[in-house]
Amino acid sequence: MSHPPDSQPGTPARNPALFSSALPSYLKPDDLGPWGIYLQQVDRVTPYLGRLSRWVDTLKRPKRSLIVDVPIHLDDGSVAHFEGYRVQHNTSRGPGKGGVRFHQNVTLSEVMALAAWMSIKNAAVNVPYGGAKGGVRVDPRQLSLGELERVTRRYTSEIGILIGPNKDIPAPDVNTNEQVMAWMMDTYSMNEGTTTTGVVTGKPLDLGGSLGRREATGRGVFTLGLEAARLIGLDVASARVALQGFGNVGGVAAQLFAHAGAQVVAVQDHGGCIYRAGGLDVPALLAHVAHCGSVADFAAAEPLANDAFWDVPCDILIPAALEQQITAANAGRIQARLIIEGANGPTTPQADDILHERGVLVLPDVIANAGGVTVSYFEWVQDFSSFFWSEDEVNERLMKVMKGAFATIWQVAQQHRVSLRTATFIVACSRILHARDLRGLYP
């Protein structure tokens, strides 16, 4: 190969545009969805990363993104195709870890953001994992149980080239549960010819699951909610709580807050919104949802228009459903003093700024909902050692990890005078990029 006369031998002339850190072609720089929000969050933290900031472009792209076709036979004999994804955002600190979501609106961009937030979360609580996430673009409410099982098994088989107990470990997320994890574990095990319980977490107890895992995310939301409330002088025992989302995370958090004396005054889910100024009967509402599938039509409450949820008089607001719910359009109306993000990515950066100016404390997703992955880590450790812990032991260790991580983040927030979200990103990005720096680049 001949070289242009003004270049060094061995160093061909280069078009700088092709050697920049510009995003890969499939990542839109103006993404307005969760991935775009995540990128803005990384930009906000970069000035605090010191010499590690030279690695920051690593965080702005996923390590691996897999799109798979998930064809299944429907019960009537016809064939339907669904789109599935598994993204490993970063594995510098350990194997990928993150849930699998079944939802009709799942996109690759959303799964990339959820995978990236897992990298941040796992580093924030210092569990030895990278970040990953998966999803299938399907509405499971429109599938029979048999069809749901076939979607799960085919999806698991298709992402089998990425997952494994030392490679990438899925867990439940929106619309997936212990049964889905059991099918995933079985499918992977059948393909491998071994019973590999540690390939997923959030499994049933009889298949290597951990006591306390199902409740862990809601318990973590409650535990850190108590810490944050104490720091701003808010008495939880007399607080009014509003929740968006009443599934695994929201349902458990509501139970724990009600048990601590708080009044759960409003709940919104995919089916509707309800309100009761004097406090809802949480156990009765849980039973209603288990029976009817939604909080809508709960007799002992007033129905509320969905948008009116954001004006409800309350002290604590817990988004526990989907992304981008608290936006510039409603952040100014929220009456709560404390927002605890059970959901991933519920608040846009513009809403974050409005809430910050109004003095509302936001306990960000990347630490507030880390209880689930923390107990997933405990489950994985128990599976590897085939030695299982009592529920008290699990909960005690969970509290220790969550409170320790929160204390560090609170101190960093005070030191740099930044929000808890930026503080969490400072702690987490520093850990990830320090690992990257130590490992160096291969080859």
Place of tokens 């489950």: 379
In angstroms, the CA 270 to CA 5 distance is: 66
**Catalytic residue check, 133:** yes
Query: Least distance in Å: CB of 442 to ligand NAD?
Result: 31
Q: Contact positions toward ligand NAD, by CB under 6 A?
A: 172-175, 217, 244-250, 268-270, 320-322, 342-344, 369, 372
Place of tokens 């002339």: 13
- Which token pair is 57? 């472009």
> How far is the CA of 28 from the CAs of 22, 54, 88, 111, 425, in angstroms?
10, 22, 18, 14, 22
- Compare residues 181 and 236 and give the one whose CB is closer to ligand NAD: 181
In angstroms, the CA 37 to CA 353 distance is: 13
One-letter amino acid for residue 417 of the chain: R
- Compare residues 92 and 176 and give the one whose CB is closer to ligand NAD: 176
Query: Least distance in Å: CB of 272 to ligand NAD?
Result: 9
- Compare residues 23 and 399 and give the one whose CB is closer to ligand NAD: 399
- Compare residues 152 and 175 and give the one whose CB is closer to ligand NAD: 175
In angstroms, the CA 286 to CA 336 distance is: 23
In angstroms, the CA 149 to CA 63 distance is: 29
- Which token pair is 442? 């291969």
Peptide bond just before 140 cis, omega within 30 deg: no
Query: Least distance in Å: CB of 341 to ligand NAD?
Result: 9
One-letter amino acid for residue 372 of the chain: G
Query: Least distance in Å: CB of 172 to ligand NAD?
Result: 5
Eight-class DSSP state of 347: B
Query: Least distance in Å: CB of 114 to ligand NAD?
Result: 7
One-letter amino acid for residue 32 of the chain: L
- Compare residues 374 and 419 and give the one whose CB is closer to ligand NAD: 374
Eight-class DSSP state of 299: T
Query: Least distance in Å: CB of 431 to ligand NAD?
Result: 19
Closest CA to 169 of 145, 192, 203, 136: 203
Closest CA to 58 of 443, 433, 442: 433
Catalytic annotation, pick one of 60, 97, 121, 133: 133
Provide the 10 A C-beta neighbour count for residue 301: 22
Residue 442's contacts (CB-CB under 8 Å, 6 or more residues apart) are none
CB 411 within 8 A of CB 367: no
Query: Least distance in Å: CB of 223 to ligand NAD?
Result: 14
Which residue has the CB atom at the shortest distance from ligand NAD?
247
Over its C-alpha atoms, the chain yields an Rg (Å, rounded) of: 22
Q: Strand pairing of 168-172 and 96-102?
A: parallel
Query: Least distance in Å: CB of 238 to ligand NAD?
Result: 26
- Compare residues 126 and 369 and give the one whose CB is closer to ligand NAD: 369
In angstroms, the CA 259 to CA 246 distance is: 16
- Compare residues 58 and 212 and give the one whose CB is closer to ligand NAD: 212
- Compare residues 132 and 174 and give the one whose CB is closer to ligand NAD: 174
Q: Strand pairing of 263-269 and 272-275?
A: antiparallel
Q: Which residues are catalytic?
A: 133
